[in-house]
Amino acid sequence: MITRASERLFAEAQAIIPGGVNSPVRAFRSVGGVPRFIDHGSGALLYDADGNRYIDYVLSWGPLILGHAHPQIVAAISAQAARGTTFGAPTELESQLAHMICTAMPAVEMVRFVSSGTEAAMSAIRLARAYTRREKIIKFAGCYHGHVDGLLVQAGSGVATLGLPDSPGVPSSVTANTLSAPFNDLDAVEQLLRQNREQIALIAVEPVAGNMGFVPPQAGFLAGLRRLADQYGALLLFDEVMTGFRVAYGGAQGLYGITPDLTCLGKVIGGGLPAAAYGGRREIMQMVAPAGPVYQAGTLSGNPLAMVAGLATMQAIGVPGTFERLTSITSRLVEGFTRAAEQADLPFQARAVGSMWGFFFADAPVTDYASAKLADLARFNRFFHALLERGVYLAPSQFEAGFVSLAHTDQLIEATIAAADQAMQQAQ
C-alpha cells in the first residue's frame, strides 16, 4: 500500500502541531507506522491522501452512525450555513433537539448543550458537587470522562495508549477527591462509599466501557451502582457520550433499564459536528445558571450547525428497526472475527452491544482495566496493520471501542471478515 502522501503530510504536521496530530491516539504511537491522512469519506468508506480506500470502523470515534457525508446531514448543514453558522443567542433548534433527547431518555428531564464530552463531564461533576454539598467522586479505572484535570486518574483511552501514568501538569491536590475502583466490582465501590461516608457526591461510569477497549457491564453491575448510590446518598452519572444513541435509541440506560441522576451525551447527538450535553433530574438541572447558582457557559454551545446535524441524525435513527439492523450486522462482524481467530488458533475475546464492539487477544474474558492490560498488544498491532493493508480501518489502539454504521452493507461486513481471516494468520 502506497503511503507517500501521508508520510509527507505527517512530517509537515509534526513541525507545527505537537506530535503532528490534534488528539493523541490519531498518531499511531502505540501500533507504530504512519497515520493515514484522510482526504474524504463516503458512507462506510474512507479515502486517504494517497487514494487508498478503507472500510471504516472508527467513524470519527463514534459520531457517524449514518456514515460519512450522509445526504440528509449534508443538506441540513448546508441549508443552515446559508442562514448563519452561529449567533450567540438562543434558537428554536436547541429546544427541538433537547425535546428529542428528553423524550428518548426519560431520566433526562432537562438538558444543557455544550461543545465536547469533556465539557459535559466537567460540568456535570461540578453540578453534582453543588447539589449534594459533597466533594469526592468515584470513577472507574480505565473509564475516560474527558481530559479534565480531576478526571485524569486511571483514565484509559489515549492515556493508556501512550503509557502515561496520568498526566504531568495535574496537581495531586486536584485529583485528591477522585477515587477509583475497578470496573464491574461492586464490592470495591461499596468499600469506598463506607470509607468516605457522606463525602461522595457522585459515582461516574461509562455504562458500557469504550476507553479501556470494549468492556460491557456484567449482569447486575449497573443496577448495583444505582442501589449503592441511593443507599449512600450519592448521585449516579452515566457518561453516555459514547453509548448514547449508539447501543440503543434510549442509550445504555434504556437498554439496561437503569435510571441515572445525571447523563452526559455527545458524539451521535451532534451528527459529526462538535456537540455534547449533560442532563438529568429537573431539580438538579435547575441549579445550572442562569436558573441557579452553578455557573457554566460556552460561546458555541448549541450552535445551529451542530443542532441541525443532530436533529437530522436523531430523526434518521429513530426509524423503527434501525437498531435491530445495527445490532444484527455488528453481531455478524464479531462472530466472523471470532471464527477467524479460532481457525488461526489464537486466544481471542470479542463482544458487541448495539453498534459498539471490540476484541482482545486474550485467553480469558476481559472485565476491567487490569484484565484489559493483560491482552497481547504486540499481536493486536500485527493484526491492526494486516487489516489496514487490506483496507480495513480500525482504531489504532487496543484500548478503544469500534463502531458500525447504517452505511455498512452486508457486502462490506463480509469483505471485512474475509480480510480478518487473512490478517489473523499474520497476527500469529
| Model pLDDT for residues 292-317, shown as the tens digit of each residue | 999 999 999 999 999 999 999 999 99
pLDDT band at residue 160 using 50, 70 and 90 as cut-offs = very low
SS3 23: coil
Task: List, in sequence order, the alpha helices (H) in 133-185.
Answer: 157-162, 172-175
Alpha carbons 115 and 193: distance in angstroms, whole number: 32
Instruction: Specify the pLDDT at position 161.
Output: 43
Average pLDDT over residues 86-107: 97
Report residue 63's pLDDT band, with 50, 70 and 90 as the boundaries. very high
Cis peptide leading into residue 207 (ω within 30°): no
CA 297 to chain centre: 23
| Mean pLDDT computed over 409-419 | 98
Domain end (from 317, 342, 367) = 317
pLDDT of residue 164: 44
- Report percent pLDDT > 70 for the chain: 96
As a whole number, mean pLDDT of residues 373-395 equals 97
CA atoms of 200 and 197, how far apart (whole Å): 7
What average pLDDT does range 141-168 have in this prediction? Answer: 66
Per-residue confidence (pLDDT) for residue 149, from 0 to 100: 74
Q: Which grid cell is 403?
A: 463502531
Catalytic residues: 144, 239, 267
Asked if 27 and 75 sit in the same domain, the reply is no
pLDDT in tens, 190-226: 999 999 999 999 999 999 999 999 999 999 999 999 9
Whole domain around residue 334: which residue ranges?
Answer: 4-69+320-426
Q: Are residues 289 and 153 in the same domain?
A: yes
Phi/psi at 7 (5° precision): -60, -45
- Is 220 in the same domain as 352? no
Question: C-alpha angle with apex 111: 107 to 114, nearest 5 degrees?
Answer: 135
Does the pLDDT value for residue 154 go beyond 80? Answer: no
- Does 245 lie in the same domain as 181? yes
Last residue of a domain, one of 266, 293, 317: 317
Last residue of a domain, one of 272, 294, 317: 317
DSSP symbol at 238: E
Do residue 267 and residue 365 come from a single domain? no
If asked whether residues 178 and 311 sit together in one domain, one would say yes
pLDDT tier at 169, thresholds 50, 70, 90: confident
Are residues 351 and 208 part of one domain? no
C-alpha grid cell, residue 5: 502522501
Rounded to an integer, what distance in angstroms lies between the CA atom of residue 14 and that of residue 33?
14
3-state SS class at 140: strand
Q: Are residues 372 and 394 in the same domain?
A: yes
Q: What is the CATH number of the domain that holds 118?
A: 3.40.640.10
Radius of gyration of the chain measured on its C-alpha atoms = 21
Give pLDDT, residue 373: 94
Query: Which pTM does this prediction carry?
Result: 0.94
- Total domains in the chain come to 2
Residue 209 β-bridge partners: 215
Nine cell digits for residue 264: 452526559
At 50, give phi and psi (nearest 5°).
-95, 0
Statement to judge: residues 208 and 269 lie in one domain: yes
Neighbours of 71 (CB within 10 A): 9
**Euclidean distance between CA atoms 371 and 386, whole angstroms:** 25
Q: Any idea what the CATH number is for the domain that residue 54 is in? A: 3.90.1150.10
Shared-domain flag, residues 99 and 221? yes
